[in-house]
Structure 1
Amino acid sequence: MADSTQLLSQDNSAKSGSTQPPDQKHLPSLDSRIERFIGDFGWAQFLQAVLVSIAWIFDGQQTFISVFTDARPTWHCTDQLGDESSSSCDAVSDICRLPRNSWAWDWPAHTSIISEWSLECAASIVTGLPASSFFMGCLVGGLVLATLADSSLGRKNMLFLTCLTMSLSSLLTVFSINIWIYSALRFVCGFFRSTIGTCSLVLATEIVGKRWRGQVGVMGFFCFTIGFLSLPAVAYMNIGLSWRYLYLYTSIPGIIYSVLVRLFVHESPRWLFVRGREEEAMATLKSIANNSNLTWSFSGLSLFEQETGNDNIFSSMKILLEKRWALRRLSAIMVMGFGMGMVYYGMPLGLGDLAFNLYLSVTFNALSELPSSLVTFFLVGKLNRKSSIIVFTSLSGVCCIMCGLKGEEWRRLQIGVELVSFFSACTATNILFIFTIELFPTLVRNSAMSMVRQALVLGGVFSPMLVAVGRGDGFSPYMVFGLVIGCCGLFAICLPETRGRALCDTMEEEERNEKATCNGVGDV
């Protein structure tokens, strides 16, 4: 059967008396050919998506592990100095104002880095250094590694290498002897962790058709929630034991998983096609797709002008920044990501300051990600990206500000409004990731996703310091979190709506969609 789109294009060219170049004929895109070949969602695609999404579990564990390892332990007064001194001790809430022998930790000193290394009276910049070092490592790693998955390494190899090195650096953290070495290893861990979620999300969504793209993307969010939720369980079983065991329990499974990725995960067929590796792409599609008519589906692929670019690791970033429309989109989503990152990473770090049990607080926050993922999973096909982000960021901002209000009546409501705020921030972040995938073509998609995640992490860099300062002088970081996420969410107004739109693979294809949308024609 002839391709009607090609025939129509040829007929129009004949009538106009001119010959258009291939990229102007509006031939079937790579996306439409892959969609036609992949068919319905099958077991092979499901298993690949699940295996790739599991990486988010280890991502979530390393992101929030410092909530327990770096926690300030509870303490009690001793009666070694007599009843009078003991009464004086009970009236003081700051242990730095008490003699060292008048109080003691409730648990052994090795349960937290604060008690093991006697950091209870250290400056907030010192106690917040490990967490900030981790997020700073994420920021630097994202900038350095962002384009490797789009250029030379590909999605699969990048996922394997970053997950393996993150887990190995986490394992080495067990041998830290002071906060400086500990902070340096947390920086290394964050550096390699920076692109794990990005590679996992992009790879999972590129092996399925657009009908299941949103649902498959949400699988990663579920796995991240599982990783987050596993931490209070592991930490509770580890009560009284060294904080080093938490790193041991989370790093070894990550190393084993990395080997499984290397052996069983397939590379993205879209990336292989865009890089000109057609034989490998077709072999991958044969192994994961339901349609066996591969030769027919891709017989005209040579007519599709591929943009392989060059092999420079920053080539995709250069392509991304050269286009005004792409730069405008990237700037807007990075601003939104920064605001969401301050809340998403900052609120769990500040749970110790709420009048509520730390283990239950972390558990409730992790559980709130489940309904967030469910909302995204079931409604992603119906939710407009722009309006949803504005609504959820505004709700999160208002609840954040309510968390910072003083007074006994507000303290009773703190955990409730904190959970609503965190749920809203999680949902907005989930939608932002799906939105980013739809805004950028295959050639630069992973780089764009990496930049968005770096914006999230940049918000996380400031969060530990704000939380640490708030512990010392009563300053509430929640007020800042609320104002920032509420204002940043409004930048969604600057972006085009992408719900129900097909994925583009080249910058030219995306530009045609951009021009058609601006002219009121719709997607090409």
Structure 2
Amino acid sequence: MGDYDDDTAFLGQTGPYFWTTFFLLNTVFVSTGFNGFYIVFIGASPEHRCLIPEVNLTAAWREAIIPVMSADGRQALSQCRRYKLDVIRNLSEQGLAPGRDVNLTGLEQEGCLDGWSYSKDIYQANIVTEWDLVCDDQWKVPFASSTLFVGYLLGSLISGQLSDRFGRKKIVFISLAAQCVSTIWQSFSQSWRMFCITFLFVGASQISLYISAFVLGTEMFTKTLRVVFTTLGAFLFYCIGYMMLPWIAYGIREWRTLLAVLSATTVVYIPLWWFIPESPRWLITQGRMAEAEAIVRDAARRNGVETPLVIFRRPELQTLHPGKTYTMLDVLRSKNLRCITLMCLVLWMAINVGYFGLSLNTSNLSGNPFMNCFLSAIIEVPAYVMSTWLLKKCARRTLLSTFLVIGGGVLLLIQFIPAHLEYVALALEMAGKFGFTMAFSIVYIYTAEIYPTVLRNVGMGMCSSAARIGSITAPYVIYLGTYDKVLPYILMGSLTIASSVVNFFLPETLNRDLPETLDQMQECQGLCSGPKKKKCVENGGSGHPAKQHEAKSDTA
């Protein structure tokens, strides 16, 4: 960027003000970890079989009325069929014994006309057991999951516009309140349809909260803290909420109570309104220089440094068009912006298909679902720690493509693992989750560094919208596993490998100042590059001739 960073350099790279704000803002992301994956438990399908009404049947016929089916090469009791009740009752009344007097394979079958009987070993009650979302209605579970991500899509489309117009801070706290209200409203759902409708609002408020808080921190913190915030900060605190979720769900096995408890945690964020400031960068773009200076002066006081008489005095700031609101249409006006945005959309979509696909699949893996969810969450911790270290030293493009290949390649290998080696397949799936988590954390800061301040929230919102297309399809990709267990892995792996190639056409942002205006934005690489590409390279890739020397110094 240049101007803002230079004018506020007297604050230092760290200090009490930055670290306090860093911690308080990051606590907001814990709630997104709570609310992002509770569908894994409240939408899990427990062991079930057709309910047998209280009719006159012998004990032998009551056990034999459920046929044995072949599933994944194993013999198991059918979950959706039973032998015709009237026929079985007649055979029982005649005193005939199953297997000895009657060949079961020749008997006529029927569906679960009287409902289902569910095991309560793991879940006391969830939406599957309450509304019988099994067998012919099994598709309603991935549909419900998708409504959350449709809400993500809607929230991504509007949150950027609202945040750019009304401010990052206001939208963060409005989104927190909306998330609390919509989650507790969902706990009172009386039907599957009502549950899906409320899930839209949960998703919209959650992604609006995440994007607004992420952009607020990206713009507020210094170059040193920015990478830490976007990896060990935002993502790690999100992961803390994600790791806590399975243990809360383990203690609360009834879905309505679980949602009420999760929504109540939002109350602890109310006092943060008086401690988290607005983004000075955004205030400057709105022409509210006095408010921006007041925030910076308060930061200087808390950091114990002297403040210049005039902080923002550079004439370049006038090029930010105070009060001008940018929209998604501005992205279409430039060939460079169109190309960069299109490639970012592909990347975000592919990464989200893999990340959410593997995250939502934890309840389908062998073993304890609570422990599987915890393992899926805890594997993200080393990924965030490693990405923090690597982002300080390595090029974004190379890092992102490397971990996309790792994540996609591991998924393609799973199909070759024999069925009896379940723990090997589980280890590979966790390795794939590690690769996608690395890519997930890298693509956020990479995209935020590519777009200028005047379009950063709009750009992030559009990319997040494309990501939602990927996450909307993720539950259905996993649902394909009911037909062929390896098919989801082939689809996710192939898409990820293809997206790693697209990534190499984006500009590199390592050690570059955040661009403020469209003129300071870098050119994309390859066929999409325009006539300004050579100029950008000559200027050290900063997109700003006056910053050529600074960019080269930063790189060195």
The question of 1:82 aligning with 2:101 is answered no
Cα deviation 1:64-98 (Å, max 9, x = unaligned) = 11000111012479997523552563734431113
Give the Cα–Cα distance (whole angstroms) in 2 for the partners of residues 73 and 299 of structure 1. 61
Which residue of 166, 171, 187 maps to 1:153?
A: 166
Where in structure 2 are the equivalents of 1:170-319 lying within 5 Å? 170-218=183-231, 219-239=233-253, 242-257=254-269, 259-289=270-300, 290=303, 292-296=305-309, 298=311, 300-302=313-315, 304-308=317-321, 315-319=326-330
State the match for 2:72 in structure 1.
none
Cα deviation 1:100-126 (Å, max 9, x = unaligned) = 579732218852111111122233432
Q: How many angstroms does 1:404 deviate by? A: 3.9
Cα deviation 1:163-220 (Å, max 9, x = unaligned) = 2102210010110011100000001111222222211122112222112210122200
State the match for 1:400 in structure 2.
411
Give the Cα–Cα distance (whole angstroms) in 1 for the partners of residues 389 and 340 of structure 2. 26
Give the Cα–Cα distance (whole angstroms) in 2 for the partners of residues 502 and 514 of structure 1. 18
Give the Cα–Cα distance (whole angstroms) in 2 for the partners of residues 245 and 328 of structure 1. 47
Which residue of 38, 55, 64 maps to 1:65?
A: 38
Which residue of 136, 151, 155 maps to 1:122?
A: 136
Indicate how the Cα distance of structure 1 residues 173 and 40 shifts in structure 2: closer, same or farther if over 3 A, else same. Answer: same
Where in structure 2 are the equivalents of 1:472-511 lying within 5 Å? 472=483, 474=485, 476-510=487-521
The question of 1:463 aligning with 2:462 is answered no
Q: How many angstroms does 1:299 deviate by? A: 5.4
Q: How many angstroms does 1:502 deviate by? A: 1.2
Indicate how the Cα distance of structure 1 residues 262 and 78 shifts in structure 2: closer, same or farther if over 3 A, else same. Answer: same
The unaligned stretches of length 5 or more in structure 2 are 70-75, 84-111, 524-531, 548-556
State the match for 2:402 in structure 1.
391
Give the Cα–Cα distance (whole angstroms) in 2 for the partners of residues 177 and 473 of structure 1. 34
State the match for 1:33 in structure 2.
7
Q: Which TM-score applies when normalising by structure 2?
A: 0.82
Q: How many angstroms does 1:246 deviate by? A: 1.6
**Amino acid in the other structure paired with 2:444:** F
Cα deviation 1:313-345 (Å, max 9, x = unaligned) = xx2433333222222222111111100000111
Q: How many angstroms does 1:304 deviate by? A: 2.9
The unaligned stretches of length 5 or more in structure 1 are 1-26
Indicate how the Cα distance of structure 1 residues 182 and 404 shifts in structure 2: closer, same or farther if over 3 A, else same. Answer: farther
Where in structure 2 are the equivalents of 1:504-519 lying within 5 Å? 504-510=515-521, 516-519=535-538
Q: How many angstroms does 1:471 deviate by? A: 2.2
State the match for 1:22 in structure 2.
none
Which residue of 77, 82, 91 maps to 1:98?
A: 82
Where in structure 2 are the equivalents of 1:358-373 lying within 5 Å? 358-373=369-384
Secondary structure of 2:133's match? coil
Give the Cα–Cα distance (whole angstroms) in 2 for the partners of residues 145 and 157 of structure 1. 11
**Amino acid in the other structure paired with 1:60:** G
Checking the alignment, whether the CA contact within 8 Å between 2:50 and 2:82 is kept in structure 1 is no
Checking the alignment, whether the CA contact within 8 Å between 1:373 and 1:427 is kept in structure 2 is yes
State the percentage of identical aligned residues: 23
Matched residue pairs, number? 491
**Amino acid in the other structure paired with 1:74:** E
C-alpha root-mean-square deviation of aligned residues, in Å?
A: 2.6
Indicate how the Cα distance of structure 1 residues 243 and 440 shifts in structure 2: closer, same or farther if over 3 A, else same. Answer: same
Bigger radius of gyration among the two: 2
Where in structure 2 are the equivalents of 1:325-364 lying within 5 Å? 325-364=336-375
State the match for 1:53 in structure 2.
26
Indicate how the Cα distance of structure 1 residues 89 and 125 shifts in structure 2: closer, same or farther if over 3 A, else same. Answer: closer
Give the Cα–Cα distance (whole angstroms) in 2 for the partners of residues 58 and 515 of structure 1. 45
State the match for 1:421 in structure 2.
432
Q: How many angstroms does 1:288 deviate by? A: 2.2
Indicate how the Cα distance of structure 1 residues 310 and 389 shifts in structure 2: closer, same or farther if over 3 A, else same. Answer: same
Indicate how the Cα distance of structure 1 residues 310 and 282 shifts in structure 2: closer, same or farther if over 3 A, else same. Answer: closer
Secondary structure of 2:163's match? coil
**Amino acid in the other structure paired with 1:233:** W
